[in-house]
Amino acid sequence: MSEENIVPEEGKKSLNFIEAVVEKDLAEGMNDGRVQTRFPPEPNGYLHIGHAKAICLDFGIAREYGGVCNLRFDDTNPIKEDTEYVDAIMDDIQWLGYKWGNVYYASDYFQHLWDYATDLIKAGKAYIDEQTSEQIAQQKGTPTQAGVHSPFRDRPVEENLELFNKMNTGEIAEGQMVLRAKIDMANSNMHFRDPIIYRVIYTPHHRTGNTWKAYPMYDFAHGQSDYFEGVTHSLCTLEFEVHRPLYDWFIDELKHFRPEDGTYRPHQYEFNRLNLTYTVMSKRKLLQLVKENLVSGWDDPRMPTICGFRRRGYTPESIHKFIDRIGYTKCDGIIDHALLEHSIREDLNAKAKRVSAVLDPVKLVITNYPEGKTEMMEAVNNPEDESAGVHEIAFSRELYIEREDFMEDAPKKFFRMTPGREVRLKNAYIVKCTGVKKDEAGNISEIYAEYDPLTKSGMPESNRKVKGTLHWVSVAHCLTAEVRLYDRLFSVENPSEEKDLDFRNLLNPDSLKILTACKIEKELENAQPLENFQFQRIGYFNVDPDSKPEKLIFNRTVSLKDSWNKIKDKD
Ligand code: ATP
Ligand code: MG
């Protein structure tokens, strides 16, 4: 199978290699022309952006070929699983815009799997091993050296059946015995060397409670669950490629016991997982960050979780665009975080309302503007979308501008505010700075300027050539808000590669900066949780769900600067 995209016939879009497989299978009438996929998360954490890649493929293929995608919780390890995660996973999939056919749980198949394991024992193809996991590991051999047979390998069937039953009745301690498939200790595929298929766990299960003590291992549960449900295309990430022969072996054996099922069988296909720079993509590590309060929760806007991106202001469309751009191949790699930022910037550029917010305010007094006067200026909501209309912003004698937009002894190329030069105040007038007031420490406390009444936005004189345009808000009409500025969570590009270091020591100490005295225009008074805005000249921001009318909180989704374009231009 080629990993290259297939060259399309004229007028057709190019197919990724999975779509090409599905089209071929359909053309050959495989599985009666049915397409059925599943998304199989283990409910042991929240979904991350890597899962979004799998979701878009599993649900996308079903949608594209008139099939169905079911949601299956792969809940075979009660130690790590919880219903909190089940609910969160469902929310995230729906937020991404997908609907599953049915919801299944691997735990629904515990009885079927047990029966199948019993059939294998009866057929002399599974045995109870009483060795420790260390002993079993030692006997496995290496890819070039055959393994050693367990002394329990030829245990009589009756004894195996009796012990297997005991594994489930509480008579056997955790770790005391396991059930192994009896396949081939010399096989070059290590997964065939008598894999463990059942172990004992006493922790109650989130759905089946204490009914079971013997639990199937992933390899024994996954393929069979696909089979019981009628999955045709079982899509997973590349690390499972080496498991595929075992997946097929278990299905072959199972079909011996169920000849009535005809020619149907599921097939596994593998694609490259998503890795992103400056973050980690492992639920275990993300859970650690949450448990140790290194972030504020699973939905901390710095987290690579789907709920983290949602809270940060990412839209489902931006995530879809990103996933489309990276595509599906057979080569693992790491994707530049800037590409994800590029996708949200592009989406919000088309959608977000433009407003004014001053993050680091300093007062600007227009000395020749009448005291007590207010003018309502017209501000375009989105220059990319005329239908978005306009809103009004109040202008008055005292304004706030960004501290960094002023410089006392400015070089020639400083096109912002400096004494003696003109600058435009967005949607208002052209003003000229006349001086400043400083406090005892020498810090600028007020800036003074004069406006030219003939340069009001829209008047002919307003077209006068002025290099800089600044945003501002009116002191008497603005609101105060908290603004949270996020940066990358880790300070190294690929934290997972630094094997010798604890990944927690690689966290970026400056990943969150909280500004509590930002000034925002009144238009934002009734902004709704998660609503997206562009703070002009600064970036895209959204309303944090914790925001309240008496304490407004905004998150920076992404800055305006597109570092991805720079990267692209370099190539
Ligand atoms: P993690 O390693 O983060 O704990 P996992 O693979 O154990 O993830 P599962 O809940 O088993 O998580 O994953 C459900 C599905 O999502 C699987 O089909 C898996 O292959 C896919 N998946 C997980 N991580 C990624 C990723 N980074 N990129 C693409 N698909 C992924
Ligand atoms: Mg997994």
The residue from 273, 330, 351, 426 that is catalytic is 273
Question: Which 3 state secondary structure label does DSSP give 571?
Answer: coil
Q: Please indicate whether residue 384 is annotated as part of the active site.
A: no
Q: Please indicate whether residue 321 is annotated as part of the active site.
A: no
Amino acid letter, 20: A
Query: pLDDT tens-digit profile of 473-528?
Result: 999 999 999 999 999 999 999 999 988 789 999 999 999 999 999 999 999 999 99
8 A C-beta contact, residue 61 and residue 22: yes
Q: What is the CA 52 to chain-centroid distance, rounded? A: 6
Query: What's the mean pLDDT when you consider all of the chain?
Result: 95
Residue 181's alpha-carbon distances to 172, 334, 340, 354, in angstroms, are 19, 36, 44, 63
| Residue with more model confidence, 568 or 273 | 273
Question: Which 3 state secondary structure label does DSSP give 437?
Answer: strand
- Nearest atom in ligand 1 to 53's CA: 29
Question: Is the pLDDT assigned to residue 9 strictly greater than 90?
Answer: no
Q: What percentage of the chain exceeds 90 in pLDDT?
A: 93
Residue whose Cα lies nearest atom 18 of ligand 1: it is 236
Question: Is the pLDDT assigned to residue 254 strictly greater than 90?
Answer: yes
Query: pLDDT tens-digit profile of 271-327?
Result: 999 999 999 999 999 999 999 999 999 999 999 999 999 999 999 999 999 999 999
Region 8-19: mean pLDDT is 76
E strand residue ranges, 40-193: 68-73, 103-105, 126-129, 178-181
pLDDT at 55: 98
Q: How far apart, in whole angstroms, are the C-alpha atoms of residue 124 and residue 176? A: 21
Q: How far apart, in whole angstroms, are the C-alpha atoms of residue 204 and residue 210? A: 5
Q: Which of 76, 39, 52 is nearest to 310 (CA)?
A: 52
Residue whose Cα lies nearest atom 14 of ligand 1: it is 41
- CATH fold of 25-271, please? Rossmann fold (3.40.50)
Give residue 39 CA to ligand 1 midpoint distance, Å: 10
Give residue 309 CA to ligand 2 midpoint distance, Å: 21
Query: pLDDT tens-digit profile of 370-415?
Result: 999 999 999 999 999 999 999 999 999 999 999 999 999 999 999 9
What token pair was written down for 150?
Answer: 């367990």
Give residue 99 CA to ligand 1 midpoint distance, Å: 19
Residue 135's alpha-carbon distances to 180, 181, 216, in angstroms, are 14, 16, 20
Residue 466's alpha-carbon distances to 151, 320, 400, 421, 455, in angstroms, are 88, 41, 20, 9, 11
At the second CATH level, the architecture of 283-353+481-570 is Beta Barrel (2.40)
Question: Is the pLDDT assigned to residue 3 strictly greater than 60?
Answer: no
Q: How many helices (H) and strands (E) does the chain have?
A: 13, 25
- Nearest atom in ligand 1 to 40's CA: 14
Question: Is the pLDDT assigned to residue 564 strictly greater than 50?
Answer: no
Question: Is the pLDDT assigned to residue 1 strictly greater than 50?
Answer: no
- Nearest atom in ligand 1 to 237's CA: 20
The residue from 53, 283, 302, 310 that is catalytic is 283
* Location of structure tokens 């009318």: 549
Helices 316-326/49-64 angle, 10° precision:
80
Helices 17-27/49-64 angle, 10° precision:
30
Amino acid letter, 265: R
Give residue 324 CA to ligand 2 midpoint distance, Å: 23
Ligand 1 probe mutation, 96, 237, 272, 334, most atoms within 8 A of CB: 237
- In the structure, which protein residues have their CB atom closer than 6 angstroms to any atom of ligand 1? 40-42, 50-51, 53-54, 74, 236-237, 273-274, 281-283
Question: Which 3 state secondary structure label does DSSP give 373?
Answer: coil
Question: Which 3 state secondary structure label does DSSP give 343?
Answer: helix
Region 257-284: mean pLDDT is 95
Q: How far apart, in whole angstroms, are the C-alpha atoms of residue 370 and residue 555? A: 36
pLDDT at 22: 97
Q: Please indicate whether residue 273 is annotated as part of the active site.
A: yes
Fold: same for 25-271 and 361-471: no
CATH of domain 361-471: 2.40.240.10
Q: Are strands 267-271 and 353-355 parallel, antiparallel or unpaired?
A: unpaired
Query: pLDDT tens-digit profile of 339-352?
Result: 999 999 999 999 99
Give residue 236 CA to ligand 2 midpoint distance, Å: 10
The pTM for the full model equals 0.93
Query: pLDDT tens-digit profile of 173-204?
Result: 999 999 999 999 999 999 999 999 999 999 99
pLDDT at 12: 61
Question: Is the pLDDT assigned to residue 110 strictly greater than 50?
Answer: yes
Query: pLDDT tens-digit profile of 63-82?
Result: 999 999 999 999 999 999 88
Domain ranges of the chain: 25-271, 283-353+481-570, 361-471
8 A C-beta contact, residue 433 and residue 449: yes
Residue 45's alpha-carbon distances to 76, 104, 136, 237, 430, in angstroms, are 14, 18, 30, 18, 54
- Nearest atom in ligand 1 to 41's CA: 10
* Residues with Cβ within 8 Å of residue 142, at least 6 apart in sequence: none
Q: Which ligand is nearest to the CA of 285?
A: 1
Residue whose Cα lies nearest atom 23 of ligand 1: it is 51
Query: pLDDT tens-digit profile of 21-59?
Result: 999 999 999 999 999 999 999 999 999 999 999 999 999
The residue from 23, 34, 42, 531 that is catalytic is 42
* Location of structure tokens 């690689």: 506
Q: Which ligand is nearest to the CA of 59?
A: 1
pLDDT at 499: 82
pLDDT band at 571 (very low <50, low <70, confident <90, very high): very low
Give residue 44 CA to ligand 1 midpoint distance, Å: 11
8 A C-beta contact, residue 362 and residue 444: yes
pLDDT at 14: 85
**CB contact burial 446-478 (16+ within 10 A = b; e otherwise):** ebbbebbeebbbeeeebeeebeeebbbbbbebb
Q: How many CB atoms lie within 10 A of CB 306?
A: 28
